[in-house]
Amino acid sequence: MRLIILKNYQELSIVGAKHVAGRILGESRPFVLGLPTGSTPLGIYQELIRWYRKGKLSFKQVISFNMDEYLGLATGHPQSYHSFMRENFFSHVDIQAPNTHILNGETGDPEAECRAYEEAIKAAGGIDLFLGGMGEDGHIAFNEPFSSLNSRTRVKTLTENTRAVNARFFDGDINQVPRAALTVGVGTIMDARELLIAASGPNKARAVHDAVEGSVSHRCPLSCLQNHPKATIICDQAAAGELEAGTVDYFNSLEQATREWASRELADQPSR
Ligand code: GLP
């Protein structure tokens, strides 16, 4: 696992966007990108939009799969993840509507919807990069604590804690927050060829600590990252606040060493 600790949210957003853009630009075939909702990725989306507007990045070759959607919430509801993605990202860039996929929370047959989503991911060739956030309790997508680490796309009952945290999007009223969601599973996320998970603020410090320093456990679904061959957490200093000093030093020095090594490699290139 790679852990990159940035100064603040703005730096995190720039580094996150740079990472995503670099992968998209590096691929000639369609690039399959997993996408999250929530407050954390907003800065990354804004950066990506900025680069698109400058003509430095195009999403025409991108196929996207969102992580989750509330069950029973109309697609057009202002707090549906369909609305979130349209308002905060899709309507600002050149991604092709048929290439975007979000679970349908209005479905009459949730199980068939989830099975079809898994099939669609497979048909697209699997996810190249899954960008994600995390819940305060270490949930990933809507995989709440004690979700199976092998789970696939399915219906998940939301915990009281998650509904209370998300009530801020529903006039502060927990009763308006749906009680269940459709979500990709931990296994679905683990199948992605690369994971990039962002965390900002002191509320995420416990989840970052559990995921990085705890053992792999369904208690903290995010700890699955320890078993992924190519997973990176980017977080700001506040979200790193519950890590041991030695852990922070270790990851900082690794990043420093990588930067020095990369610049030495560049210096060794013959000049043109
Ligand atoms: C929701 C989403 C998650 C997201 C989490 C954190 O529960 N289903 O995918 O990671 O919120 O959101 P935020 O970034 O707003 O803290």
Instruction: Say yes or no to pLDDT of 198 above 60.
Output: yes
User: Which atom belonging to ligand 1 lies closest to the Cα atom of 68?
Assistant: 8
Residue 63's DSSP bridge partners are: 32
Residue 233's DSSP bridge partners are: 3, 197
Residue 140's DSSP bridge partners are: 143
Closest CA to 96 of 59, 121, 45: 59
Active site residue 137: yes
Q: What is the mean pLDDT of residues 14-19?
A: 97
Active site residue 92: no
- Ligand 1 site residues, Cβ closer than 6 angstroms: 36-40, 67-68, 133-135, 141-142, 162
What stretches of the chain show up as alpha helix (H) in DSSP?
9-25, 42-53, 81-88, 110-123, 160-166, 186-190, 205-213, 245-268
For the chain, what is the total number of helices (H) and then of strands (E)? 8, 10
Catalytic residue chosen out of the listed positions 139, 209, 218, 228? 139
Question: Mean pLDDT in the chain?
Answer: 96
Residue of 45, 139, 153 to test ligand 1 pocket, by largest number of atoms within 8 Å of CB: 139
The one-letter amino acid code at 52 reads Y
8 Å CB contact between 67 and 184:
yes
CA of 53 to the centre of ligand 1 (A): 27
Catalytic residue chosen out of the listed positions 47, 69, 128, 137? 137
Give the pLDDT confidence score for residue 112 in this predicted structure. 98
Catalytic residue chosen out of the listed positions 19, 47, 68, 210? 68
Give the pLDDT confidence score for residue 271 in this predicted structure. 54
Model confidence pLDDT, tens digit, residues 216-261: 999 999 999 999 999 999 999 999 999 999 999 999 999 999 888 8
Tally of CB atoms within 10 A around 194: 17
Active site residue 139: yes
Residue of 70, 134, 184 to test ligand 1 pocket, by largest number of atoms within 8 Å of CB: 134
Q: Measure CA of the first residue to CA of the last residue in the chain; give whole Å.
A: 36
User: Which atom belonging to ligand 1 lies closest to the Cα atom of 181?
Assistant: 8
Distance CA 129, CA 232 (A): 11
Model confidence pLDDT, tens digit, residues 132-167: 999 999 999 999 999 999 999 999 999 999 999 999
CA of 38 to the centre of ligand 1 (A): 4
Catalytic residue chosen out of the listed positions 47, 113, 128, 144? 144
For the record, the structure tokens of 102 come out as: 């979000």
Active site residue 128: no
The one-letter amino acid code at 175 reads N
Go through 50-80 and write b for each residue having 16 or more CB atoms within 10 A of its CB, e for each that does not. ebbeeeebebebbbbbbbbbbbebeeebebb
Whole-prediction pTM: 0.95
For the record, the structure tokens of 71 come out as: 């069950």
